[in-house]
Amino acid sequence: MFVKDFMSTSPISIPIETPILEALSIMRKRKVHQLPVMNKGKLVGLVAERELLKVSPSPASTLSIFEMNHLLSKMTVKDVLVKDPISVESNCTIEESALQMREHRIRSLLVVDNGVLKGIITQSDVFEALIRIFGLRKPGIRLVLEMENKVGALADVLILVKNREINVHAVACREKDDQLVHVMIRLASTNVEDLLNDFANNGIRVIYNNS
């Protein structure tokens, strides 16, 4: 699955001369933490809520209300925006976008194709993608299998499933170590007693079964 399948295609953006207080107000009303910044129709950066809060005077400030408002009225997002923000293309895979967010410790990514802002993808969008990828809203059961880590191990499992005429919603693998691999398989059927016997007869251990 790709970013273009889950991104928001009409992201809220603000002009580069937007006052800081106005930008904060937009974020709170729209319940977002970052906003793309535009200048003459072109993407020039990104502004984050945490950066705006850093430059906003705290309640403990010795400045008067008038002085605070005067100071902030002169500051725009141009003063705090991040130029060349981390972005992905719309045909980027969901897992790559998740990796980018994780490695850079950010909650969303701008989606940019050939310099044009196409959308924004958030952690929530990635979670929704994972829910669909793993078929969590579909009826059935989830099994976790432990087997020898060898070429063809997954194929052996799927052949046994096919022989029982059971449809597969999702499959994922994770190496436990050099010798063993764990396979998560989500099946469309809940009638899997014969399949479980097939697994046992072929040295495939079921370590989790939510049926």
Fold adopted by 3-131: CBS-domain (3.10.580)
State the chain's maximal CA–CA distance in angstroms: 79
pTM: 0.76
9: Cβ contacts below 8 Å, ≥ 6 apart: 118, 119
Q: Write down the domain spans for the chain.
A: 3-131, 141-209
Rounded mean pLDDT of the chain? 89
Helices 20-30 & 65-73, crossing angle to 10 degrees? Answer: 90
Helices and strands of the chain, counted as H and E runs: 7, 10
Q: What is the mean pLDDT of residues 81-91?
A: 92
pLDDT at 144: 96
At 131, list the tokens: 């829910």
Helices 153-163 & 193-201, crossing angle to 10 degrees? Answer: 140
Please give the single-letter amino acid code of residue 179: Q
pLDDT at 57: 58
Dist CA 51 CA 80 (whole Å):
7
186 phi and psi angles, rounded to 5 deg: -110, 120
pLDDT tens-place string over residues 158-206: 999 999 999 999 999 998 888 999 999 999 998 999 999 999 999 999 9
Fold adopted by 141-209: Alpha-Beta Plaits (3.30.70)
Q: Is 9 exposed, middle or buried (0-12, 13-18, 19+ CB in 10 A)?
A: exposed
Dist CA 123 CA 105 (whole Å):
11
| Residue 65 reports pLDDT greater than 50 | yes
pLDDT at 60: 45
Chain center to CA of 9 = 15
Residue 182, Ramachandran bin (φ over 0: left; ψ between -120 and 50: alpha; else beta): beta
pLDDT tens-place string over residues 93-106: 999 999 999 999 98
pLDDT at 193: 94
Dist CA 122 CA 172 (whole Å):
23
Q: What is the mean pLDDT of residues 125-148?
A: 93
